[in-house]
Amino acid sequence: MKRTEGKRNMANRIIKLSAAIVAAASAVGKYEYEGPLGDTFDLHDSTDKFGMKTWEKAESEMQRLAFNTALAKASVSEREVEALFAGDLLNQCVGSSYGLLDFDIPYFGLYGACSTAAESLMLAAMTCGAGYVSSCAAVTSSHYCAAERQYRTPIEYGAQRSPTAQWTVTGAGAFLVGRDGRVRLTEALPGIVVEKGINDASNMGAAMAPAAADTLLRYFRQSDTSPEEFDLIVTGDLGFEGGSILCELLLAEGLDIRSRYNDCGMMIYDRERQDMHAGGSGCGCSAVVLASHLLPRLERGELRQILFVGTGAMMSPSSIQQGLAIPGIAHLLRLEREKEMMR
């Protein structure tokens, strides 16, 4: 177990960003389309195959489609995008390297497990905000069937799922990041790897919750804000199990976020009707919920400012087999709707 008590690194701090999300798009599978946010996603395929012969190729195809759709929405050509920040859950991140192969754009491959949507947006905003590029993109994905056979067992085996297990979202989200736009990325607090002894790969929410608590505590201690100032504090994929652990961990530290808290993994499926156990997970989970549900609400002014906390469980099947506990990470972004008077 990681011992961070008493040696808190005070050097790490909130990074001020100056960038905006110019456009976003999503592609999802059957269950995501049938869920409560189904109408909001740009593309879906009820076969989960997107015309491909393998689940891995389907995941790549979702990335390609989501990025192309984001380009089309913003009327931006591929030539104007100067960098791609991309990642996924597949071994060696082949969802991204093959999915974005057709594009003639400098490529930064990332691996932050399910936190990659937030990590990629953060690095895109940092790169753009610093003026290194004027336009770049963040693209991430996950696929239920590809993830199951890689991390657990092929779905054909019909393995029993535990109540704390989460359902990897079949989906890809793409974000174009530039300097101007209605939804601004104003602050980032990158996550620190936290491991609290959880070694049950069917309970990733519990493994990631301490990392989310660590990041949120650091954020509220460093910033002059309270949870009530945000319309929403949303984690990526803690699910019902991890989400409630997060709220408890924070309450024990005197921080109550419950009135503002939600989780993309709790939002994407209908708990009663779809029975996805502890909720959605995966890089695609937070990516598609942010791209197609939260961003439009920010654009319409229904949400004015939110904290988006991408959560990731960075184990591998080998590390679990070798008896190691699961390291979690949580990257925080502050998103704000640009005020009308500032336009």
Q: Which residues bind its own copies (CB under 8 A)?
A: 2, 4, 7-13, 15, 54, 56-57, 78-83, 87, 89-94, 97-98, 100-102, 104-113, 119, 123, 126-127, 129-133, 135, 150, 189-193, 195, 314-319, 322, 324, 327, 329
C-alpha distances out from residue 70 to 65, 74, 239, 255, Å: 9, 6, 27, 37
Measured between alpha carbons, how far is 227 from 255 in angstroms, rounded to an integer?
A: 8
Least Cβ distance, residue 6 to its own copies (angstroms): 10
Least Cβ distance, residue 123 to its own copies (angstroms): 7
Least Cβ distance, residue 129 to its own copies (angstroms): 8
The answer to whether the beta carbons of residues 325 and 199 sit under 8 Å apart is yes
H or E stretch covering 334: strand 328-337
Closest CA to 286 of 257, 271, 308: 308
Least Cβ distance, residue 296 to its own copies (angstroms): 28
| Tokens 């469980």 sit on residue | 313
Measured between alpha carbons, how far is 138 from 97 in angstroms, rounded to an integer?
A: 13
**Residue with smaller CB distance to its own copies, 266 or 307:** 307
**Residue with smaller CB distance to its own copies, 118 or 246:** 118
**Residue with smaller CB distance to its own copies, 58 or 183:** 58
H or E stretch covering 206: helix 204-222
Question: Using CB atoms within 10 A of its CB, is residue 274 exposed (0-12), middle (13-18) or buried (19+)?
Answer: middle
Least Cβ distance, residue 239 to its own copies (angstroms): 19
Least Cβ distance, residue 71 to its own copies (angstroms): 13
Q: Could you tell me which residues are beta bridge partners of residue 205?
A: none
**Residue with smaller CB distance to its own copies, 112 or 279:** 112
Q: Could you tell me which residues are beta bridge partners of residue 311?
A: 330
**Residue with smaller CB distance to its own copies, 14 or 231:** 14
**Residue with smaller CB distance to its own copies, 74 or 126:** 126
